[in-house]
Structure 1
Amino acid sequence: MTDDVTLSPAEAIELAKTALMRVGMVEAGATALAGATVDAEMAGKRAVGFAHLTDYLRSLVDGRIVARAEPLLTSPVPAILKCDAMGGVAQHGFSVAHEELVTKAKALGIAIFTAHNSYTTGELGWYVARLAQEGLVAIAATNGPALLAGSGSRQPVYCTNPLAFAAPLHDGRFLLIDQASSATAFLKIREAAARGEAIPEGWALDQDGEPTIDPFAAMQGALLAFGGERGANIALMVEVLAAGLTGANWSVDAPDFQAGETSPGAGLFVLALAPQLLADGFSARLAAHVERLSGEYGVHIPGIGRVERQRQAESAGIVLPRQLFDSISSFRRN
């Protein structure tokens, strides 16, 4: 008999929001982060769902996240929205800017959102998915504390530096690619350590720069890029977009997101495009092409099942391990 806790999406949002506000987070920020957390959980992205919410809660308690932060938005030119997260979370700034970003993209054909001075951005796919639901094509890039060895190095110089892309289909679904530049996400290494399991070869180096299958040694060393040098080059490209263009900390300069009292100062870059201004019938054409690729050629289309998984979670509920539920429920301000 399981001791898991099953929550409706509304109950899950309330759990997350209440816990965040209990440790001092401003309500608008708690609402945005709770929504993003539950969205990731419902989409099956548990590593960046409630499991990652505990990082936010600890960081609020320890001061790595400024609990009362209100994002500062500026627009130097019509197509650009810049956000200083003020030591808070990127989800808050993006939620505040979302409606204006969509309006600008549809009116101008293109719009850019950047954020800096924030904690980790959570599930990167959440940002582009919200834009795809508005009929936009979107690309997002983010960085954070150094975890990934660069091409030729044995020390971490980049974060996992994920890149996400989403494009709408005419039936309400969307194509969604969300992947790290590393061979795996750091949170999966941490999950393996918690379970006492080895990690696959090719995922990481130990602190001496030697290959390891020990997750604890990996967390003291560096992750490896997928595809070797090519993956490391993508990590560098993401670093330029997410830290260079936003004014955020370079990954080598970003404080630890798990310890200390200082925000990682991470960056987020989001590009939104209005496909209807570029190609007639884009969403219908893409939907037909996706069906052909998956049906005739057996191609796996990432993200297509996200909407259906979320619909299933609406009826079946969100299942949390009792220990995780109790941990989230127990957070209090010092």
Structure 2
Amino acid sequence: MSDRTVTLTLPEATTLATSALLRAGASEALARSLARAVVDAEAAGKQAIGLAHLPDYLDALACGRIDGDAEPLITSPIPALVRCDCRGGIAQLGFDRAFDDLVAKASSFGVTLYASQNSFTTGELGWYAVRLAEAGLVALAATNGPALIAGGGSRKPIYCTNPLAFAAPRADGPPLLIDQASSATAFVKVRQAAERDEPIPEGWALDADGNPTTDPQAAIGGALLAFGGARGANIALMVEVLAAGLTGANWSLDAPDFRAGSDNPGAGLLIIAIAPQLVAGDFESRLARQLKRLSRDYGVHVPGEARQSARQRADSAGITLPVALFDSITSFRRR
């Protein structure tokens, strides 16, 4: 421990997160599932949605936005569909509960749909897709949450950051993983800038009056912008239809704030899982050769490799947290 940081092994970080979640009112199953997801995000280099995001979950548990005792209801109305009602809990636990069945069904039928509703925000979306890719499946995931970004001519928040994640397995290497939001930046980055009293770049957000702003506090009270203008807003709308329309979850406009109050956001998560070996038996080796060619001959950055490198570093060197964050997690007590 230095004067400003604390270094933890991954098992120590998982114990830290699990203990805090239990104190906040989570069941053992919920605490284990969420701690794993949060620490995995941290180890993958996604600090903004890793342990820095844990206090949001802790506060949500303490205030009732997450039902700490919620047990997801998982059904399969037809063989190639898995539905999950998270019942006011977390998406991670529902996915953990359904994972083996989802993999088995996709491997048997070629394609399986996973539709989740009534959860808190989903955290790192790539975490869901890459786990399926590690099991040999191609996965496309979409999720929504409370309204944060403007789009389609609006100057008020109408969509969440509405990310898409895509993952595919390849031979002799980490899965290809693309995980990106429809917004120009993640909301947590704006909040972090506000905490540091630093300006944000132009093109990230609007203030409450709909004017462009570089003031993060004004942005928090206003709206984020979609990346690429109307094109990004169109993707946000597409994700909204997939994640809320098809799952029966709250539209972003109707989702309660994940930061305040006692109501669960009721977010949606839709995942399409495909068994590539049933379509093209040499898919993984073909993809590996193609990605190598793109990287070697054309200088293309291959998403997913940096995640694996970050995980390897975290496995050997641990993860480093600001003392203030470590103390806030360690000292958290349910009010």
* TM-score category of the 2 structures, normalised to the smaller one: over 0.9
- Whole-Å Cα distance in 1 between the matches of residues 4 and 193 of structure 2? 22
Deviation per CA, 1:243-294: give whole Å up to 9, x if none: 0000000000000000000000100001100011111211111111111111
Given residue 221 of structure 1, which amino acid in structure 2 is its aligned partner? G
- Whole-Å Cα distance in 2 between the matches of residues 303 and 202 of structure 1? 27
Does the 8 Å contact 2:170/2:176 carry over to 1?
yes
- Whole-Å Cα distance in 2 between the matches of residues 182 and 2 of structure 1? 36
Q: How many residues align?
A: 334
> Do residues 46 (structure 1) and 35 (structure 2) align?
no
- Whole-Å Cα distance in 2 between the matches of residues 25 and 144 of structure 1? 21
How much does 1:22 deviate? 1.1
1:87 aligns to what SS in structure 2?
strand
> Do residues 238 (structure 1) and 233 (structure 2) align?
no
Matches within 5 A, 1:214-293: 214-293=215-294
Matches within 5 A, 1:185-224: 185-224=186-225
Matches within 5 A, 1:69-80: 69-80=70-81
Matches within 5 A, 1:1-334: 2-334=3-335
Deviation per CA, 1:205-237: give whole Å up to 9, x if none: 000000000010001001110010010000000
Given residue 249 of structure 2, which amino acid in structure 1 is its aligned partner? A
Does the 8 Å contact 1:88/1:118 carry over to 2?
yes
How much does 1:305 deviate? 2.4
Does the 8 Å contact 2:173/2:288 carry over to 1?
no
Does the 8 Å contact 2:147/2:160 carry over to 1?
yes
Deviation per CA, 1:74-111: give whole Å up to 9, x if none: 10001111001010000000000001100101111111
- Whole-Å Cα distance in 1 between the matches of residues 31 and 64 of structure 2? 16
Deviation per CA, 1:289-322: give whole Å up to 9, x if none: 1111111101111112212221111110011111
| Length-normalised TM-score, structure 1 | 0.99
Root mean square deviation of aligned Cα: 0.8
Given residue 291 of structure 1, which amino acid in structure 2 is its aligned partner? K
Given residue 135 of structure 2, which amino acid in structure 1 is its aligned partner? E
Q: Percent of aligned positions with the same letter in both sequences?
A: 64
Deviation per CA, 1:178-197: give whole Å up to 9, x if none: 10000001111101111111
2:115 aligns to what SS in structure 1?
strand
Does the 8 Å contact 1:133/1:172 carry over to 2?
no
Q: Which runs of 5+ in 2 are unaligned?
A: none
Given residue 64 of structure 2, which amino acid in structure 1 is its aligned partner? G
| Length-normalised TM-score, structure 2 | 0.98
1:187 aligns to what SS in structure 2?
helix
